[in-house]
Amino acid sequence: MIETVFEPDQVAPDAHVAIKTEILVIGAGQAGLSSAYHLKRRGLAQGKGFIILDRNPEPGGAWQHRWPSLTLSTVNRIHDLPGMKFADAVEKQSDTVQAAVAVPQYFAAYEEAFELPVFRPVNVKVVCERGGRLRVETDRGNFSARGLINATGTWETPYIPDYPGKDRFKGRQLHTRDYRTADEFVDQHVVIVGGGISAIQLLNEISGVTTTTWVTRHEPRFRQGPFDEEAGRKAVALVEERVRAGLPPNSVVSVTGLPVTPAIEAMRARGVLERLPMFSEITEDGVRWADGTQLTADVILWCTGFRGSLDHLAPLMLREPGGGITMTGRLATQVARDPRIHLVGYGPSASTIGANRAGSAAATGLMSYLEL
């Protein structure tokens, strides 16, 4: 295998050639851009020092794929990237502007301001060990790195639980990732599965145009009062405890609860928050509970979350027997089984504010480990 030094805008189309760098950053969403910012701030040069790859054709990470009704007024919060405020990069707009428009605009401005050119679109196929370095194979050539900051997020790995009868349902099944607009469900009965914030948002929209049934595996836990910094630290600590023990991270809502907003109060008044426990099987025309109760439905919308998009790391055998990855380091970004690899946007750093802090910790920790 021939290794070559990176040049701007270069891609290695030859399978026998690999672009060589010290640290490779995979993913240019919140966590990836934060990591790249801190690598550069600590003196690492783009190219020989670090390279950023992203599978999306344009800046914006997963935000560019969100449904149109997710606006600046409905997102939890768009946290500022380090060194540049959202408000300073995006012209003041009304809260009705789509997040899928505003956030990519912000990320694009950020990449330009801090001179963080990103290889895109580049789809990473696999990462494996090769002679003491990490070989990264993509659809646009190969790369060779001493260390890796993986910031691939979760959007590409939607999770749908496997319930008996799922394959025989004659209606439509889709995931949060596939949702576009409530109008497509008019005159259809929709079963919405999931107890997270996205499930609540989509339940609110869809119940405004048609009939719905809300189903969750656990009793929803609504949280009164503001979610302040202290509450945030406690929530992150609970997730961090799990990943440090090698356990799969829990969903965010399992530790934060659902905030009681005016929208939720209005939903409660409309009677759409009458939650049912999880059904036991899916029939041809609906769902059935263990006690024999049946419900006819046209659509099942799975708001059941995502899993970390980490399949490309499988050859490195990072997972524990239970499926989790044991994390270590200052903010639990470093993989215990392979300290050359940091996962940001995973576990306790899955939130936008957590991704910022994780980017700093990963950049600092990995450069120190590699003695850069």
**Residue range 278-298, pLDDT digits in tens:** 999 999 999 999 999 999 999
Measure the CA–CA gap between 335 and 23, rounded to whole angstroms.
Answer: 15
Are 103 and 97 within 8 A, CB to CB?
no
SS3 154: coil
* Cis status of the peptide bond prior to 121, with omega within 30 of 0: yes
> Does 3.50.50.60 match the CATH number of domain 166-221+257-302?
yes
Average pLDDT for residues 19-32, to the nearest whole number? 96
Residue 260: predicted pLDDT: 83
pLDDT band of residue 1 (cuts 50, 70, 90) is: very low
Top-confidence range, 4-18, 75-89, 199-213: 199-213
Instruction: Report the topology of domain 2-156+307-369.
Output: FAD/NAD(P)-binding domain (3.50.50)
Residue 195 has pLDDT above 80, yes or no: yes
Measure the CA–CA gap between 66 and 63, rounded to whole angstroms.
Answer: 5
pTM of the model: 0.89
Q: Do domains 2-156+307-369 and 166-221+257-302 have the same CATH topology?
A: yes
Number of helices and strands in the chain (H, E): 8, 19
Two structure tokens written together for 225: 């009062």
Query: Any idea where the domains of the chain sit in the sequence?
Result: 2-156+307-369, 166-221+257-302
DSSP 242-294: HHHTTPPPPPTHHHH-EE--HHHHHHHHHTTT--EEPPSEE-SSEEE-TTS-E
